Structure 1
Amino acid sequence: METQTGRLSVKKVGGKSTVTSCFSKYPLKFIIPNKVGSSENDAVWVYTLTYGGGIVSGDSISCEFSIGDGCTTVLTTQASTKVYKSLGSKCSEQILEARIGSDAILAVIPDPVTCFSTARYSQKQIFRVVSDSSLVIVDWITSGRHESGEKWDFELYKSTNHIFLEGNQPLFLDTVLLEQGSNTSVSELMQDYQVIAMVILLGPKLNHIQNQVQENVKRMMSEQLYIPSNGLGHSGKTSSDCYLTKPTFIASCSVFGPKGIGVVIRIAAMTTESVYRFLHQQLANLEPLLGVSPYC
């Protein structure tokens, strides 16, 4: 069992967002490029990785991030987070705690988690914001290694996201739990869907993106779930009428927080590629803030 810890602080130095302290313990590592995007962009990009390419049974990863006032920081990965097979009842865990200052932005935009057969994995992300902080969270999981015939074969997956305002006031509390049951497997519950995802957009700097994403999701779902009229009315239906097919991609939006300051998008999809495409399209307007468009 490896205990991996990391701490990182970003502050304004000379008018630029700058990493002022950074620590990680082997086998956890942070990669911080000198510049992502144009030279005028102020965002600090941080890539997390573990030597060996994944999370081993029993591993415990704990990271703390502090994003200073007016800073922009992106936390991402170089590839999907692989969670290897569990040994006995050992559960791998990953904990992220982040504080986001006034007029600051934190974007947590990783590739998906992929759990191997029998894996047990729990992650918890805690974000502490002030009234004018902005936050992007993408949290998603695939069904597993399709090429090996694994689809929702892991034993346990738990993902918790908590957002607190000043004074430890709860703003958003959410947990997703997928666990094999004695009567019903996760695969049976998920049917043909191979990816589930959640996207959170919070804060004043993201207002225009929130509005656009809500409109886009509403239009997408209206088109996908549209039932063409056959002109017969309810009483004129016959056994030969067409029936609804299962959507390959489902998304929904809802607002949360005082005056709807946050938006959460939930997704279920049959392919990982369709979710990558959705994220790229819907988050493209983050490019002026982050330097490059996410999920290119």
Structure 2
Amino acid sequence: MEGANLKGAQNITQHIGTGSIRLELARGNLHLSDLAFTYPLKLVAPKASPKSQSVFLLSYGGGLVGGDAIALSVVLEPNTTIALMTQGSTKIFKKRPGLPATQQTMEVELQAGATCLLIPDPVQPFAGSAYTQRQSFTLHDESNLILLDWVVSGRPANGEIWDFLEFTSTNSIYAHDANQPSHATGRRLISRDAQIMCFPETKKQMSKYNCMATMLFVGPATAGASRTLLTRFKHEERIRGHSGSRIHQSDPGMVQWTVTSHRTVTILKVVGESSEQVKEFLNATVDDVGWRSQYGREPFRALE
């Protein structure tokens, strides 16, 4: 029996998918000059709207099995706007013996005046899963980034609540720096946000909550949103008398949130007892800061 199990594990196939997207302005219209992908990644691009080009990041079967790896490269040429979305939560299935953790990496270059809206549905790691996500963004002058990175506890209806083995998500934001030596990367790090969770510590710490979200935004088009949220947070602190370092509750039984700003990058963090509570808070925030009127409804469909 043991030999049969080992043989089965050795025959398991690891899938490594790659993808590339390049968006440009051609005669004043948005145009995808490159859209390529391999299994298990699938990219779907509807017709561009006047405001942005949407691209759906999909996986066959609605999720990633243990050991799968995806690497996506995105280049936004000057003054283009892209909305990167999913069609439902990304399910992370149980880790398979003999294979590494499921991995996703994304590299995005935003050239001068470009905008990237990355607003997916949440990641849903199943019990026994292991997942690593690394996302990197290089911003040129006057470019803008709005990024949502969120995760749910698993499958609460099945009794799976923060029962994954490990979950790591890292978002790195760089500024393009043409003055760096030719042998250097040509960019400098301005912000890195990492969420590292593992069993059983996370299950104990997050027992009250079923959803955690991080939203990062940077660029001149997001400056007003940053001021609005920072002012709102300070106002709620004064009312409740909370210290500036604490995450505090917006309404009884609802979400808890905090917002900070450093090196031009604003980071909003939200936790809630349910994904619906977090979604409602984020959806209201998008309206409050004017992003839906600025970029249209489509990029934020994951919050509706």
Aligned residues: 268
Which SS does the other structure have where 1:162 is aligned? strand
Task: Tell me how far 1:114 sits from its aligned partner.
Answer: 0.5
After TM superposition, the structure 1 = structure 2 runs for residues 4-19 of structure 1, keeping only pairs within 5 Å, are: 4-19=17-32
> When the two structures are superposed, what TM-score results if normalisation uses the length of structure 1?
0.85
Partner Cα distance (1:156, 1:34) in 2: 38
After TM superposition, the structure 1 = structure 2 runs for residues 83-232 of structure 1, keeping only pairs within 5 Å, are: 83-88=92-97, 90-167=100-177, 168-180=187-199, 184-219=200-235, 225=240
Partner Cα distance (2:164, 2:54) in 1: 31
Instruction: Please tell me whether the aligned partners of residues 221 and 251 of structure 1 are also in contact (alpha carbons under 8 angstroms).
Output: no
2:37 is equivalent to residue 24 of structure 1? yes
Task: Tell me how far 1:282 sits from its aligned partner.
Answer: 1.1
Task: Tell me how far 1:198 sits from its aligned partner.
Answer: 0.6
**Percentage of identical aligned residues:** 25
Instruction: Please tell me whether the aligned partners of residues 255 and 281 of structure 2 are also in contact (alpha carbons under 8 angstroms).
Output: no
2:255 is equivalent to residue 249 of structure 1? yes
Instruction: Please tell me whether the aligned partners of residues 111 and 141 of structure 2 are also in contact (alpha carbons under 8 angstroms).
Output: no
Partner Cα distance (1:10, 1:162) in 2: 21
Q: State the one-letter code of the partner of 2:116.
A: L
Gaps of 5+ in 2: 1-13, 178-186, 243-250
Q: State the one-letter code of the partner of 1:144.
A: G
Partner of 1:52: 61
Partner of 2:297: 292
2:76 is equivalent to residue 67 of structure 1? yes
Which SS does the other structure have where 1:281 is aligned? helix
Instruction: Please tell me whether the aligned partners of residues 16 and 42 of structure 1 are also in contact (alpha carbons under 8 angstroms).
Output: no
Would the alpha carbon gap of residues 83 and 158 (structure 1) be closer, same or farther in structure 2, given more than 3 Å must change? same
Partner Cα distance (2:233, 2:114) in 1: 27
Gaps of 5+ in 1: 228-244
Which SS does the other structure have where 1:205 is aligned? helix
Root-mean-square deviation (CA, aligned residues, Å) is 2.0
